Structure 1
């Protein structure tokens, strides 16, 4: 039984408009249908492979979590850091190790203790009110007044926690705070 239905559709694969003879037609041609089928098969194989890889990785991590002692490579996998970082921590004395011949072993509890940083709540300094332009040096004035380089001035302000105020195109620093620092250095 033939039909006289003519429906305008968009091909699901090539996204071109075509005239379909049934309401269930998805593709404009047999070629688009074959290509869509192959693309679906390819995508399902990729998803299956990715799922298998993820399963293997999580299985390895589960096994590592159960171990008491770890090699450098295993510790890097478990904690998500590089081998070089672990060696740096060992060289600085943050982590204790045991050597069995050429093999280096780390206790998992030592690594967990190192990464378990206590949460310290810092009090935020209250934002200081701008003391006024007459009570401030510009950055250029401070450099010439105290004969200091821009980098050294920046580090000095940062180290002592001195506020900088940007107004327009100039950056101002309180005179009183810089005077105290440079008078203390001169003594």
Structure 2
């Protein structure tokens, strides 16, 4: 059963006008139909490749967030730090791990607790005001008076939480804090 209808259509591939014999015809010739098929196949392969690349670049972090144990790679993606930084934290003994052959696994709750900042500690630290230049030593004065290296001094200041004040190109520390640190009797 053939139809004698003639419909003027535009080819979906070459955009030329042609006369179709059915209402479902999309292409003007077998050549345009084949080329359109190849184009669709090529485009679907490109789309799939791009999707796979996107998955490899950005794995679904929601899935990682639900896991109790994560790998070092997943931890670095989840917390936005490098793998090397995580390995340094592990080597310092600040983070517990489990080893399965060569694979290192970390408990997610350990990572969360390591990177959480306790609010109580930040609220309990009083904000110190600058006591004035007369009541401060600069870093060079401290080194000369107590015979300590710059690295050792900065380590002590940081370890004991002593406030430093930067004024101009000099750093100052309160005399009372340094005297307490080095057990000096003030007159």
Give TM-score scaled by structure 1 length. 0.49
Give TM-score scaled by structure 2 length. 0.49
